[in-house]
Amino acid sequence: MSGLFPPAFSFLSCTLTTLLLHACFGVQATTIVSFDEQPPTSATQNVVRDNFIGISYELASYDTLWGKTASTVPAAVQNYMSNLNARMSNPLRIRVGGNAMDGSTYVPNKTDEMLILIDPEAYFNDIPVEFGPILFDVMNMMADKAGEMEFVIGLSMRDPQNDTNVVTLAKDAHDKLGNRLDALLLGNEPDLYAGHGNRQDYNISVYIPEIGQVLDDLKKQGILEKPLIGGPTICCGWDLADVIEAGLDRYDYKYYTLQHYPNHACAGLNERNTNVSSYASHSNLNDYIGWNDRGINLAVTDNVPVILTEYNSVSCGGSNISDLFVMSLWGIDAGLKAISRNFSAVYLHTREYGIQYNLFDPPTDPSLNDSSQSPGWKTGSTYYAALFLSEVGSPSGSVVIDLNLNNSIDNPSSLVAGYGIYSANPTYGFTRDKLVFLNYADGSNPTYPNNGSGYFFSTTESTQTFKIPENTATKVSYRILTAESLFSTTNTSAGGSTDAIKWAGQWIGDLGNLRGQRETHLMECNKGCDIVVPSPGAAIVILTDDDSFYMGNSTVVSSLEDSSSSLDTTIVDSAGLGNGAMGSLQLSVVKLYPLWLGVALVLMMTA
Ligand SMILES: *[C@@H]1O[C@H](CO)[C@@H](O)[C@H](O)[C@H]1NC(C)=O
Ligand SMILES: *[C@@H]1O[C@H](CO)[C@@H](O)[C@H](O)[C@H]1NC(C)=O
Ligand SMILES: *[C@@H]1O[C@H](CO)[C@@H](O)[C@H](O)[C@H]1NC(C)=O
Ligand SMILES: *[C@@H]1O[C@H](CO)[C@@H](O)[C@H](O)[C@H]1NC(C)=O
Ligand SMILES: *[C@@H]1O[C@H](CO)[C@@H](O)[C@H](O)[C@H]1NC(C)=O
Ligand SMILES: *[C@@H]1O[C@H](CO)[C@@H](O)[C@H](O)[C@H]1NC(C)=O
Ligand SMILES: *[C@@H]1O[C@H](CO)[C@@H](O)[C@H](O)[C@H]1NC(C)=O
Ligand SMILES: *[C@@H]1O[C@H](CO)[C@@H](O)[C@H](O)[C@H]1NC(C)=O
Ligand SMILES: *[C@@H]1O[C@H](CO)[C@@H](O)[C@H](O)[C@H]1NC(C)=O
Ligand SMILES: *[C@@H]1O[C@H](CO)[C@@H](O)[C@H](O)[C@H]1NC(C)=O
Ligand SMILES: *[C@@H]1O[C@H](CO)[C@@H](O)[C@H](O)[C@H]1NC(C)=O
C-alpha cells in the first residue's frame, strides 16, 4: 500500500519504541539537489538515445519465452516488450546470444521449430542448441506485434578456421531481419575461451588476426556494406583498452561491447553474492562500472559507441537476493551509472526458467510443461528496473550525469543517489530535462537486524526529501517506484505478493500486463519544491514542458484481470517547502477520470 501517500506510510511503520526515541521525526532526511544548467563538456560526447535500456536473452531458452514458431509468440512477452517499447521513441533493443549461442549450430534447413537442445548433460551456464531460421521469423513477429525493435545477434569465434556456419547464420540474419538487424556480435566472452577449454594457447594476439579472417569471410557475402559488427564482448579476463590497442581499432566496428556482473555464484552462495547492502550502496558502482574506463574513453574518443550487452546482479544464475526489490533500484542505478560513464546502451540479461535474476518467467518449467501461452507469468524485480529506465530518456537524445548527491559517488554511507538528465535538443542545445532520485534507506522494515543478513542500514532515516532549488523548473511532474522494503519480492512462493513492487502505482499482472491505476504527481516548483521519495524507492522527475511521461496503454493482449476502470490518477502535491515531516499533511489528492484527464493535464502543465 505504499506509494500513494509516502510520508504517511513511513509514519505508520514507526513503532512505539522508535517514536519514543524520536526516530520517526527524523524519517524525512533532506538532500539538496544541485543540477547545473549546462552539462560538463566532458559529458557531452555521450548523447544516448532513449532506447538505451535493452533486454538480453540467452539463446538456449529463447524459444520458451518468445515462442517456438512465429504463430505462437506468447501474449505475455508481447506485453512485457510492449510496456518497455511504448515508453521510448526509438526501437526497443533486443540481444540474443550468450554462451549458448557461441556453442550452438545454425541449421538453415531446420524449418519445423526454432531450436532444440542437443546435449541433455550440458553445463547449465553453457547450453548448446541447434537452431534454424524460425528464430528470425519469431523475432520479426514480435517486432510486428510489440513495436519496432533493434536486434543484436551473437556469432561464435570459437572455431574461426571453420566459420562456414557462422557466415551462413550472419547472412540469414542480415537477409531476414533487414533494417531491424542492429549488430552482429563476433565472439561471446572470448576472454574465457581458454579458461573454459574452448581454445588452447589463446590470447589477444591470437584473437585479433582471427577476427580479420572472419570479417573477410563475412565481407565476401556482401553483408557488411554498412558497419554491423560489434565486439569483443569481453567480461572478465581481458581489458578493452588492451584489445583496442592490440589492433581491434583497425577493423570497422559499429560497437565495442562488454558484459559484466558485480559478483558471481558459480561456486554457490557466499558473503559477497548475498550481501544486500553492497547492492544498496551507490559508491560500489564505481568499481563495477569503471573496470574498463580506459578502453571506454578510448572508444568514445574514436567515436565507437560502447554497449554493455549483458548486466544483472549475480552471474551464473543469480543468488537468493537477485529477485528482491533492492535489485530494481540497483538495476536502475547501475544502468544510469554506466550511461554517465560513457556507455551508450545497457542490456539487462534474462535466462531460462527459474534463474533468480530473470526479468520474467513462464508459469511452469517449460521442460516439463509448455505453459507459455497461459496466464500466470512471474515478474522479477529487475523487470521494474527496465520499466523505469524506459521512461528516463528524452526522444531527442540525453546526457546523463551523476549528481553526486550527499557525496554518494564515493561516500559508502550515502543512502541516496541522483542523476541529472539533459535533453540534447538540436535547436536549443542541452537543456535540463529530468532528475532521477534513488532512496536506498529501508526505514520501513525495522525487523531486519542492522547487523545481520549483510544488512546494516539505519532504520531511523527513511523517507527522503529531495529539494529542487528555485529556478530549476516552474512546475514538475513525477512518478515513484517503491516497495515496502529492499527485501520485498514478487516471488509468491517466497512469501512475496504480485503487487509488492509498484511503478507509478502500477504492477505487472499475470500476462505481462500493467495493472492498477497509474499515478503521476504534479507540483508547482517556481520557488523550488520538495520531492518526497518513499523508503525504499526511486523517482523520475520531469522538469520541463518539452517532455512528458508516457500516458498510453501499453497492453497488447489483455488478461482476464484487466478491468476497464480508468487508467490514470493525477496527484497534485504542494511544493512542500520547509514543511519537513509535516509536508504530507498538505498533500491534496485529486482524482481525474479519463475524459477529463487530457484537458486537466494540459491546463496544469501550461498554467
Ligand atoms: C538438413 O540438411 C542436412 C544435410 O543436408 C540433412 O542431413 C538434414 O536431415 C536436413 N534436416 C532437415 C530438417 O531437413
Ligand atoms: C566445421 O563445422 C561444422 C559445423 O559447424 C562441422 O560439421 C564440421 O565437421 C566442421 N569441419 C571441420 C573441418 O572441423
Ligand atoms: C599468445 O599466444 C601465442 C600462441 O600460443 C604465443 O605465441 C604468444 O607469445 C602469446 N602472446 C602473449 C602476449 O602472451
Ligand atoms: C556488505 O556490503 C557492505 C557495503 O558495501 C560492506 O560494508 C560490508 O562489509 C559487506 N559485508 C560483507 C559480509 O561482505
Ligand atoms: C567520457 O569520455 C570522454 C572522452 O574520452 C572523457 O573526456 C570523459 O571524461 C569520459 N567521462 C567519464 C565520466 O569518464
Ligand atoms: C500445463 O500448464 C498449464 C498452465 O499452467 C495448465 O493449464 C496445464 O494443465 C498444464 N498441463 C500439464 C500436463 O501439466
Ligand atoms: C549522507 O551522508 C552522511 C555522512 O556519510 C550519512 O551519515 C547520512 O546518513 C547520509 N544521508 C543520506 C540521506 O544519504
Ligand atoms: C548484532 O551483533 C552483535 C554482536 O555480534 C550480536 O550480539 C547481536 O545479537 C546482533 N544483533 C542483531 C539484531 O542481529
Ligand atoms: C541468502 O543466503 C545466505 C546464505 O545462505 C543467507 O545467509 C541469507 O540470509 C539469505 N538471504 C536472503 C535474503 O534470503
Ligand atoms: C522463489 O522462492 C522460492 C522459495 O523461497 C525459491 O525456492 C525460488 O528459487 C524462488 N524463485 C525465484 C525465481 O527466485
Ligand atoms: C488497455 O488495453 C487492453 C488491451 O486492449 C484493454 O484490455 C484494457 O482494458 C486497457 N486498459 C485500460 C485501463 O484502458
pLDDT of residue 103: 87
Distance 454 CA to ligand 9 centre (A): 9
Tens of pLDDT, residues 545-585: 999 999 999 999 999 888 767 788 898 888 766 433 333 32
Mean pLDDT score, 42-61: 96
Tell me the fold of 6-45+398-606: Immunoglobulin-like (2.60.40)
pLDDT at position 462: 81
Rounded to the nearest whole angstrom, what is the distance from the C-alpha of residue 550 to the centroid of ligand 11? 15
| More confident site: 180 or 126 | 180
Q: Where are the domains of the chain?
A: 6-45+398-606, 53-389
Q: Residue 20 above 70 pLDDT?
A: no
Q: Is the CB of 356 under 6 A from ligand 10?
A: yes
301 CB within 6 A, ligand 5 = yes
Kindly state if the Cβ of 203 falls inside 6 Å of ligand 3: yes
Ligand 2 atom closest to the CA of 162, numbered from 1: 1
Average pLDDT over every residue of 470-485: 95
- Whether 119 shows a pLDDT value over 80: the answer reads yes
- Ligand 3 pocket check for 205: Cβ under 6 Å: yes
Instruction: Determine how many CB atoms are found less than 10 A away from the CB of residue 492.
Output: 11
Which of 193, 202, 203 is the pocket-test mutation for ligand 3 (most atoms within 8 Å of CB)? Answer: 203
Task: Decide whether any atom of ligand 11 lies within 6 Å of the 562 Cβ.
Answer: yes
Higher pLDDT, residue 490 or 453: 490
Q: What is the pLDDT of residue 23?
A: 35
**DSSP secondary structure, 288-307, as one string:** HHGGGHHHHHHHHHTT--EE
What mean pLDDT is predicted for residues 410-421?
95
Q: What pLDDT score was predicted for residue 603?
A: 28
Ligand 6 center to 138 CA (angstroms): 23
Q: What is the CA(443)–ligand 10 centre distance, in A?
A: 25
Mean pLDDT for 44-48 is 95
Residue 400 neighbours by CB under 8 Å, 6+ apart: 43, 48, 336, 339, 340, 392, 419, 420, 421, 422
Q: Is 411 exposed, middle or buried (0-12, 13-18, 19+ CB in 10 A)?
A: middle
Q: What is the pLDDT of residue 507?
A: 97
Q: Which of 293, 430, 305, 230 has its CA nearest to residue 52?
A: 305
When pLDDT is cut at 50, 70 and 90, the band that residue 45 belongs to is very high
Q: Strand runs (DSSP E) across 175-301, as ranges?
A: 181-186, 229-234, 255-260, 263-264
The arithmetic mean of pLDDT across residues 203-218, rounded, is 96
Q: Write the Ramachandran bin of 510: left for phi over 0, alpha for psi from -120 to 50, otherwise beta.
A: alpha
- What is the DSSP track for 306-326? EEEEEE-SEETT--TTTTBTH
The pLDDT value given to residue 445 = 52
* pLDDT tens string 74-117: 999 999 999 999 999 999 999 999 887 888 999 999 999 999 99
- 281 CA distance to ligand 4 middle (Å): 9
pLDDT at 547: 93
Torsion of CA 435, 417, 83, 75, to 10 degrees: 180
What confidence score (pLDDT) does residue 573 get?
Answer: 87
Ligand nearest to the CA of 278: 4
> Which residue among 274, 408, 456 has the greatest number of ligand 4 atoms within 8 angstroms of its CB, and so is best to mutate?
456
Work out the average pLDDT over 315-333.
97
| Domain covering 53-389 assigned CATH 3.20.20.80 in the classification | yes
Angle between helices 326-340 and 381-389 (to 10 degrees): 40
Grid cell, residue 352, equals 531460462
Whether the bond between 120 and the residue before it is cis, its omega within 30 degrees of 0, is no
Residue 509: nearest ligand to its CA?
A: 11
Using the mean position of ligand 7's atoms as its centre, give its distance from the Cα of residue 369 in Å: 50
Q: What is the model's pLDDT at position 566? A: 77
Closest CA to 73 of 82, 108, 561: 82
Q: Is 337 in the pocket of ligand 5 (CB under 6 A)?
A: no
14 CA to centre of ligand 8 in angstroms: 21
Write out pLDDT tens, residues 363-401: 999 999 999 999 999 999 999 999 999 999 999 999 999
- Asked if residue 494 has its Cβ within 6 Å of ligand 10, the reply is yes
Whose C-alpha lies nearest to ligand 8, atom 2?
451
Q: Which residues line ligand 4 (CB under 6 A)?
A: 271, 275, 277-278, 281, 284, 454
| Alpha-carbon torsion, ordered 115, 121, 127, 130, to 10 deg | -30
Q: Which ligand is nearest to the CA of 377?
A: 6
Residue 320 Cα: closest atom of ligand 10: 14
pLDDT for the residue 99: 82
Identify the residue whose C-alpha is closest to ligand 3 atom 4: 201
What's the pLDDT tens digit per position in 432-458? 999 999 999 886 554 444 434 334 444
What's the mean pLDDT in 305-322? 97
CB of 453 sitting under 6 A from ligand 2: no
Task: Please name the residue whose Cα sits nearest to atom 3 of ligand 4.
Answer: 278
Pick 118 or 451 by higher pLDDT.
118
- What is the distance in A from the centroid of ligand 9 to the CA of 59? 30
pTM: 0.90
**Dist. CA 375–CA 74, nearest whole Å:** 10
For ligand 1, mutation pick of 109, 112, 113, 164 (most atoms within 8 Å of CB): 109
- What is the CA(109)–ligand 1 centre distance, in A? 6
Which residues surround ligand 7 with Cβ inside 6 Å? 29, 31, 406, 411, 413-416, 461, 464
Task: Give the least confident one: 231-245, 301-315, 546-560, 578-592.
Answer: 578-592
pLDDT value at position 461? 55
Which of 368, 369, 373 has most ligand 6 atoms within 8 Å of CB, for mutation? 369
Q: Which of 98-107, 235-244, 511-520 has the lowest mean pLDDT?
A: 98-107
109 lines ligand 2 (CB under 6 A): no
Phi/psi for 485 (5° steps) reads -155, 165
Q: In a mutational test of the pocket of ligand 6, which residue from 371, 511, 559, 560 has the highest number of ligand atoms less than 8 Å from its CB? A: 371
For residue 536, cis peptide bond before it (omega within 30 degrees of 0)? yes
Of all protein residues, the one whose alpha carbon is nearest to atom 5 of ligand 9 is 269
Ligand lying nearest the CA atom of residue 113 = 1
- Nearest atom within ligand 6 for CA of residue 376: 5
- Ligand having the closest approach to the CA of 79: 11
- Which residue's alpha carbon is at the smallest distance from atom 8 of ligand 5? 42
Mean pLDDT score of the chain, rounded to an integer? Answer: 87
Weakest-pLDDT range from 221-235, 287-301, 330-344, 550-564:
550-564
Across residues 324-349, what is the average pLDDT?
Answer: 98
24-40 pLDDT per residue, tens: 333 568 999 999 999 99
The residue whose C-alpha atom lies closest to atom 7 belonging to ligand 5 is: 42
Residue whose CA is closest, atom 4 of ligand 4?
278
Query: How far is it, in rounded angstroms, from Cα 385 to Cα 460?
Result: 26
Instruction: Indicate the pLDDT class of residue 606, thresholds 50, 70 and 90.
Output: very low
Q: Are 148 and 140 in contact (CB under 8 A)?
A: no
